[in-house]
Structure formats: C-alpha cells, structure tokens
Amino acid sequence: MAEPQRIAKLLARAGVASRRDIERMIEDRRIAIDGQPVEKPATLLTSLRGVTVDGKPVKEPAPARLFRYHKPAGLLTAARDPKGRPTIYDRLPRDLPRVMPVGRLDLNTEGLLLLTTDGELKRALELPSTGVERSYRARVFGEVSQSALEDLIHGIEIDGIRYGSIDANMERRTGRNGWVEMRLTEGKNREVRRVLEHLGLQVSRLIRTAYGPFPLADMPVGAVDEIRQHDLVAFRKSLEEPSRPGDGDRGAPRRGGGAAPAPGRPRGGPPRSDSPRSAPARPARPPAHRGPAR
C-alpha cells in the first residue's frame, strides 16, 4: 500500500499547482474529497481518488515533463498581469500541457526558462538547498575590476539582503562596455542586476544561458522543446545523491556540470544575432506533445 502523503504534495505532483498555490486553493475551499471541502493542507492521502478541484476530478500524477523555453525580453513570468502586459502564457504554444515556470525571469531578462508539469520537480529545481546552478551573461557599462568580481565568490550583502556565493568573470570588454558571466545557486528577486549595479555597473541586457545541466544553446528566441524522459530521470536522481567532498568550491553541490542532456527539437522563432553563448545541444528526436490546450 502506498505511503500516505500530504494532499498539497500529491496535487503538486499531479501538476495542479505549486504547493503554495494549493494551500491558497484549500483556504478558498476549492479542493474537496468526495464532495467535502478540504480543511487543512496537511490532510494525508494515499491517492487522489475522489479529489476534485473546482468540482473537476483530479487525475493521478503522470510522469513529470520538463521543457526549455527561450523567453524573449518584454514578457512577464506570470499567468496574468493586472496591468495587461503580455506574459509568457500569451506566447507559449497552445498544444503544451499545463506547465509552471521554474523560478522566474524579470520582464526585461531573456534566455532559458524551464517549464514543468510537476510541482515537486519545480520545487526541487528552485530550492537553494539542492544547489542547482543558474548561468547568466550580462552586457554591462562601467568599470569594475576582475578582483571585485572574484570577491563575489564569498557572497555579498546589499541593503540588508545577503546574496550567496557567485562565480563571476569578465568575459570580454571593449572600452567601458563588457560582458560578464555569472553562475549562482540562488534565485533571489533581481539578484544578478542588483549585485552588478552595486558594483557600479549598468546592465543593458541580461540572458540566462543555463539552468543546471540544461543549456539555452542555440535555441531560437520564442522556441520551446522538451527534455527527454531518460535525461530528466537521471537528473532527478542526481538531485537525490548526497554531495561528495570536493564537489565544487562554493559550499553547495553544483548540479550544472557535465554534458548537457539532449533536449527535443525546438519549435518557433527565428535565429538571432548576438545570441547567448552556451554549449550546443546534441540533435534529438522531436518531443511528443500531449495534453489539452490551455
């Protein structure tokens, strides 16, 4: 018999919403078991039999799916915006299943945004404790020494907020303009921009080039593809493995090294000049797209 689990965890695994959103839905009495509203997120269940959301039965969790999306600048990472600004959901292909963003990219930040059908996978990818590395390239204007960038490896405090270890390097410079590469394992709000601005740099363009072992590579802007299941399963197993002594020098296990898993074939969007640099992905068969249109 299956081990009882919290209803919020089961629903997150089924792709209904994140745990936090599910807790809000329970407060709003939108979730019921056999017609009776659930009172507590800690309710334990062995299956989702009889569970409904807004009166509709919830299917048992399907295998998690993970997608890469080359987010353009100018889109919000949100389901909707009160001000009417465009969001990623306005541009995603209609034949995608219901997906949730892993973390978020600011309105004017572009590059790799991971999307998943599984709330537990989303949580594992986002938590700083799992040490999943994010990589960025920033086009900057101003003067900064390489030693000041290297000092970020020890973390930095700005306006009372502590930012963890950042591996930063001046990739290239032309006069007072340059490109800075940064790798970090946190995802605090506007972290990269705030740290660079604190160093006296103006950020004119910010691109996420990788998330864990998944690279942006040469994906066209606006394109979406799916990570192969066997690569996703292998990655999830790596998250469960204890860190070994000597794994990285930043105090947390790095999950971004090694060869990148082969994603599916990207769809949509023309190639772009001045594209972000990252390791090229191996060619792969196109993904199978399932699930209802949103």
Catalytic residue among 28, 34, 54, 106: 106
Active-site residue, 28 included: no
How far is residue 212's CA from residue 223's CA, in Å, rounded to a whole number?
19
Burial readout 83-104 (b: 16 or more C-beta within 10 A, e: otherwise)? eeeebbbebbeeebbebbbbbb
By annotation, the residues acting in catalysis are 106
